[in-house]
Amino acid sequence: MENSCCDTGHINSDRRSHHSEEVKKNLTSRLNRIEGQIRGIKGMIEKDVYCDDVITQLAATQSALNSVAKILLEGHLKGCVVNRLSEGDLEVLDEFVVTVQKLMKK
C-alpha cells in the first residue's frame, strides 16, 4: 500500500490527503460494501429480523469501518505525520493523539 501525505498547514486550513489511485479504489470499494451492509441492516429492521441477527450484522459493519480507519490511520502516520515532523512541525503529534483518541471512543 502506498503511503498518503497531507498538504501542510494549520489545523483549520485546506489540507488534503494524497492517496494513490490503488488506495482510493480499495477504500472506495470497502466503503461501497459497508454502504450495502447498512442498507441490508435497514432492511432487516424493516422486516423485524431477530435482534441478535441484526446485532451480528452491525458488528460486522463496525469491523469493516474499523478496517477503513486503520488503512487511513496508517497512511496518515507514515505520510502526513512523518512529513510534518521532518519539517519541524511538532504540533502534528498532538493532532495525531487526538485522532487516535477519536478512533478509540466507543
Fold of 20-104: Methane Monooxygenase Hydroxylase; Chain G, domain 1 (1.20.58)
Domain boundaries, the chain: 20-104
4: Cβ–Cβ under 8 A, 6 or more apart, which residues? 17, 18, 19, 20, 23, 72, 75, 76, 79, 80
d(CA 5, CA 80): 4
Question: Tens digits of per-residue pLDDT, 56-99?
Answer: 999 999 999 999 999 999 999 999 999 999 999 999 999 999 99
Which pTM does this prediction carry? 0.80
